[in-house]
Each structure stands twice: as C-alpha cells, then as structure tokens.
Amino acid sequence: MAERRQGSRRRGQGELEALVLSALGEADGPATAGWVQERLGGDLAYTTVITILTRLLAKGAVTRERSGRSFAWTPASDQAGLAAHRMRRVLDAESDREAVLASFVTGLGPDDERLLRDLLGRAGHTGRTHSEGED
C-alpha cells in the first residue's frame, strides 16, 4: 500500500492566493515576486508565484508597478476585502440574486445576523447622509 507523505498535500488556488496576499500585506511597500517567494519559505516555484500574482491582478486584488525589468506588487485590499470580492463574484454569477441572498441570510447564526443588520444600518445611514448632500 502506498503511504501518504506528510507535507505533500496539494494546496488549492484560494489557499495559495491567501498566502501570497498575506505575504504582500506584511511588506513595507510594494514587493517583488522574488521577495514573496522568499517570504513564503521558497516552497513555491517563482513561476507559480508569478501566476498567482497575475490571477490576483486580474481579480483586482493586487496592483503592480514597473520595477526595473520586473514588477513590484501591492495588495489592493486586505483578506476581508478579497473575501468580499469573491462573494460578489459568486453572487454576480447567479441568475436569482434574491434567492441566493435569502439562502445566505437564513443560514446565518444569531450573532452574524445581528452583525449584518448593524452593518446594513450603518451603510444605509451613510448612504442617506451622502444622498442628502451632508458630508
């Protein structure tokens, strides 16, 4: 029987993106792919890091600027922002937004439901303030 080696688990794309974003978030400023690779312990190939960064760029999760012959990368948002972006993409892909949102809300626990109500109340208050021209 074949034994499973420890540490040989293949990581999913979302997990790798989260690791790369976390590393970028720890940088003092824009970081190169090589810096990210080193920060992650060198387990990922440089080309894999570039692929992940390019995917994150396409998703709007990072920005890049020219740095010599390569690029320096900066997170466009934190982990919460990336999760929210993924949630919006899933919602946008569905034809019945109301059903998806209703299913999501009914699945929330009491604490999360209360938090969501508070956040929606604050967002609604902020929206009314701006629509009334008060800054």
Residue 106 has pLDDT above 60, yes or no: yes
Backbone angles phi and psi of 110, in degrees to 5:
-55, -40
Listing DSSP states for 13-72 in one string gives HHHHHHHHHHHHHHSSS-EEHHHHHHHTTT-S-HHHHHHHHHHHHHTTSEEEEEETTEEE
Residue 15 has pLDDT above 80, yes or no: yes
- pTM for this entry: 0.59
Q: Is the pLDDT of residue 9 over 60?
A: no
Q: What is the mean pLDDT of residues 92-106?
A: 92
- 58-93 confidence digits (pLDDT tens): 988 899 999 999 999 999 877 777 778 778 888 888
